[in-house]
Amino acid sequence: MVGIVTNDTKTKLGNDFYDMFYAQYSKLKIHTTKIVTVQEELSFARTTKISILVDSDVIEEFYSRPEEDFLKYMADSAASKLFKYFKDQEKQSKMITQY
């Protein structure tokens, strides 16, 4: 299986972020065998903390705000950080084999 993104959100806001993130993730055409998880935890007052995880590595983590522009920005940021993470992992695996 390639490119699995799981949705572990609890609120509508988290689900909206997941949809935006997955759209960006799909545009970048990231092909990996690792599972990416979008996780949401309840936090202080009415906010939630959203985390993007690959296995147990935290790629991005932030406290949500109900503004759509903010969610779109964070989805773009998280997808680009994830893309960079996988490119770095690919480079490291090539370096080890060339050692």
* Helix or strand run (H / E) with residue 38: strand 36-42
Q: In this model, does residue 75 exceed pLDDT 90?
A: yes
For residue 98, the model assigns a pLDDT of 55
Give CA–CA dist 76/95, Å, rounded.
Answer: 29
pLDDT band of residue 72 (cuts 50, 70, 90) is: very high
- The strands making up 5-8's β-sheet, listed across from edge to edge, are 5-8, 36-42, 48-54, 57-63
82, 65 contact by CB (below 8 A): no
Question: Residue 21 is which amino acid?
Answer: F
pLDDT band of residue 78 (cuts 50, 70, 90) is: very high
For residue 47, the model assigns a pLDDT of 85
Q: Phi and psi of 42, rounded to 5°?
A: -70, 145
Encode pLDDT of 12-68 as tens digits: 999 999 999 999 998 988 878 889 999 999 888 788 999 999 988 899 999 998 899
